[in-house]
Amino acid sequence: MAKYKDKDHSYSEEKEGVSYTCPMHPKIKCKRSEMCPECGMGLVKAEDEAVHETEGGKGHDKHEGHSTEMFIKRFRVVAVLAIPLIVYSELPEIFFDWEAPRFFGWEYLMLLLGTIVFFYGGRVFISGAYREIREKLPGMMTLISIAIVSAYTWSVYATFTPDETLFWELSTLIAVMLLGHWIEMRAVTGARGALKELASILPKEATVIRGGKEMAVSLNDIKEGEVSVVKPGEKMPVDGLVKDGSSEVDESIVTGESKPVTKKKGDEVIAGTINGDGGLKIKVTKIGDDTFLANVMRLVSEAESSKSRLQVLSDKAALILTIVAVGAGSVTFFTWLLVGDDIAFAVARLVAVLVITCPHALGLAVPLVASVSTNMAAAQGFIIKQRLALESARKVDWVLFDKTGTLTKGEFGVDSVLAISGLSEQDVISVAASVNSGSEHPIAKAIVDHAKKKGVDVLNVDGFERIPGKGAKGYVNGKNAVVGSEVLVNEHKASVPEHLLESVKKFESKGKTVVYVLRDEQFLGVISLSDIIREESKEAVKVLYDQGIRVMMVTGDSEDAAGWVAGELGIDEYFARVLPEQKVEKVKELQGRGLKVAVVGDGVNDAPALTQADVGVAIGAGTNVAVESAGIILAKNDPLDIPRIIRLSRLTYRKMIQNLFWATGYNVVALPLAAGALVAFGIPAIDPAIGAIFMSASTVIVAFNAVLLKRFSL
Ligand code: ADP
Ligand code: MG
């Protein structure tokens, strides 16, 4: 696939050899400084050893859910250690008027337990902060670290003085933070998975022939050019060419088409597709990252890391909140010191403020919703490549549909062939098929198939050139041959005999596509082809009209053929004989009037318009160029997915806004409480651990609210 271009990546740097990791999830590795797919935090630069670092010293660990488990493991230890720290705090006395029996050196035991809690439980946060600061991107890890380091340092000092320590606050805070993270991550994992699902499509091993013997090797060990044996019912391990055998292959994961495709010697097979009843020997042509599936996975992961406008906004808000937190924390701390309260109280307030203002929920608010919606989309059958496309979809005023291959299946059949006097139908077909033997256009394929079926010679073509939106040309037998629309006839100053014009008119009024065949500027004949309108197209148009969206069909086909299809589908606005540049012009014109435009297309001729559109949607079965240019891909080739995209976009936006509220709104109430600003009015200050509960609760609400999006059916 060509280098994929993304309207949405200008702010993300990509450097060779640098990798990024999540401070919370060391197993996450990424080439870009995007956000963690696990928790949505910003990724930070990682040195190699930092990336490979795993908990428990078990070496490189790929186990799923490993880091999630790490949080709960640490939580359990910290929670147990917190019990004696609470029992020996001032709490029992306050609440039960009871004091645990003191014994010699109990303070030092508390110090020991507190130290274990700090280093064992707090380590995750501190190493996270270290990476954030090195990246000059202070965030939640930094805040939590300042909080726990302050609490711990103070407590160590207080152990040796008559002052109160903050060990119980420290341990409950760390416990809550660890538990909060664990709950969150579980909520988040439920929201992800498209990539994992794709990865699980590939078999783990493949059978190859080496030294004349069949042996099972891991996918990583296969080399290009080797021969792999695929037994009936197995999945293709690699992309390749059939060397021996024949079978019906289920390619639905790639094409969405459930009908199995016959594969015989010389045919291409794609990794992940399922072999039918025949055994196949495959010559390996592509392995690993070059396979089709790997490319799709790359697209999906780029989507997962491509940020929406709201994401950029909430990232900024998170940075501001961090600054506010540190500012508010310092003001709180020094105010309490100046007021002359004891330092323990001042430190506790500082810690509470830092914890409460942590922008953790904010960091998750948007990405979580985004990943739930990406997955809903994938489950429905459309792949979101650019988040911005999905975000813009809710505001779409116009949907511009291409006709051939989009509203229709693009599966043409040749109906009739008419030749000028002196030539046979076979001659016309032969010229048309020869020129088109190099083309991927559905019309071209139909003509070539027809020629083969009729036993007509398909000759070599030299200097083949496609003329997007018009046709194709090339030299056949040294003569300049052209196949395509009426436009080309005019361009070549050829003319169609009167008596044929009538038949052409008749074909087109029934929705047939008519192509003209020329040789050395001379008109030879016409070929009339019929296409099948997709079953879902009519319903899709109706639903869009009901959603209040205007629909337009733009096609390179003739006026009559276009009019017939538009009539069948109930589309009241259409443009025929539209060239690729004119498709772009249409989009620009509407955009110039302040309207948002979605373009749905499949062909090379649609690519420029797909790029120009606010929302470019490509039919999955369409050409590579169209798929590369679009922001959303319809894997099932179903036009009904267009209204679904719009609905999903609207739902997603609403959820994101709700989440931004839940992530920041509570600060307005909680911050003054944490700072102890209302103590003078008899309202007690919030303890750090309660603050942590607030913060985690906000995060859990945000995660839960995001998952609720799944309840909506599209
Ligand atoms: P649409 O915009 O409806 O998808 P295209 O732009 O792909 O249609 O094609 C427009 C017209 O150009 C077709 O109706 C056909 O007349 C002609 N055409 C394009 N490519 C070819 C080809 N390879 N062979 C013959 N005709 C072609
Ligand atoms: Mg098309």
Backbone angles phi, psi at 624, to 5 degrees: -50, -45
Exposure on the CB side of residue 2, measured as CA atoms within 13 A: 9
At 569 the pLDDT is: 95
Instruction: Tell me what percent of the residues of the chain surpass a pLDDT of 90.
Output: 35
The domain limits of the chain are 205-295, 374-408+534-649, 411-533
Residue 132's nearest CA partner among 257, 346, 279, 319 is: 319
Sign, CA dihedral 622-627-629-632, equals: positive
Q: Name the stretches of the chain with pLDDT < 50.
A: 1-17, 47-66, 190-194, 256
Separation between Cα atoms, residue 706 and residue 187, nearest integer Å:
9
Amino acid at 586: K
DSSP 667-706: HHHHHHHHHTTTGGGTPPPPPHHHHHHHHHHHHHHHHHHH
Domain 205-295 class, CATH top level: mainly beta
* Non-local CB neighbours of 549 within 8 Å, separated by 6+ positions: 396, 397, 398, 399, 643, 646
pLDDT of residue 575: 93
- CA 586 / ligand 2 centre spacing (Å): 16
- Among 406, 515, 610, residue to substitute to test ligand 1 (most atoms within 8 Å of Cβ): 515
Q: In what order do the strands lie in the sheet with 479-484?
A: 413-419, 522-530, 513-519, 479-484, 471-476, 462-467
Is 402 annotated in the active site? yes
Residue 254 has a pLDDT of: 59
535 Cβ contact partners less than 8 Å away, ≥ 6 residues apart: none
Q: How far is the CA of 316 from the centre of ligand 1 (A)?
A: 47
| Ligand 1 atom closest to 578 (CA) | 2
Nearest partner of 282 among 231, 218, 233, judged by Cα = 231
622 pocket-lining for ligand 1 (C-beta < 6 Å) = no
Distance separating alpha carbons of residues 53 and 59, to the nearest angstrom: 7
Rounded Cα distance, 111 and 92, in Å: 19
Q: Is the CB of 443 under 6 A from ligand 1?
A: yes
Residue 441 in contact with ligand 1 by CB distance below 6 A = yes
Between the alpha carbon of residue 257 and those of residues 407, 442, 512, 633, the distances in Å are: 16, 16, 24, 15
CA of 3 to the centre of ligand 1 (A): 26
| Ligand 1 neighbour 111 (Cβ under 6 A) | no
Three-state SS string over 1-31 comes to CCCCCCCCCCCCCECCCCEEECCCCCCCEEC
Catalytic hit among 239, 402, 557, 560: 402
Could you say which of 3.40.50.720, 3.30.420.480, 3.40.1110.10, 3.30.360.10 is the CATH number of the domain covering 411-533?
3.40.1110.10
Q: How far apart are CA 432 and CA 459, in angstroms?
A: 10
558 Cα nearest atom in ligand 1 = 14
- 319: buried, middle or exposed (CB in 10 Å: 19+, 13-18, 0-12)? middle
Superfamily of domain 374-408+534-649: HAD superfamily/HAD-like (3.40.50.1000)
Query: Which ligand is closest in space to the CA of residue 518?
Result: 1
Pocket test for ligand 1, best of 434, 555, 558 (most atoms within 8 A of CB): 555
Ligand 1 atom index nearest CA of 601: 4
- Ligand 2 center–CA 607 separation, angstroms: 10
Give yes or no for a contact between 518 and 494, defined as CB atoms under 8 angstroms apart: yes
Reading phi first (left if > 0) and then psi (alpha if -120 to 50, else beta), residue 631 is in alpha
Q: Which residue type is seen at 454?
A: K
The answer to pTM > 0.75 is no
Ligand (nearest to CA of 623): 2
- 27 CB near ligand 1 (under 6 Å): no
Neighbours of ion ligand 2 (CB under 5 A): 402, 404-405, 602-603
At 201 the pLDDT is: 66
Pocket of ligand 1, candidates 404, 448, 496: which has the most ligand atoms within 8 Å of its Cβ, to mutate? 404
As a whole number of angstroms, the distance between CA 131 and CA 33 comes to 13
Alpha helices in 381-441 (DSSP H): 387-393, 425-436
- Which ligand places an atom closest to the C-alpha of 583? 1
Give every strand in the sheet of 274-275, ordered side by side: 261-263, 247-250, 274-275
Nearest CA to ligand 1 atom 10: 556
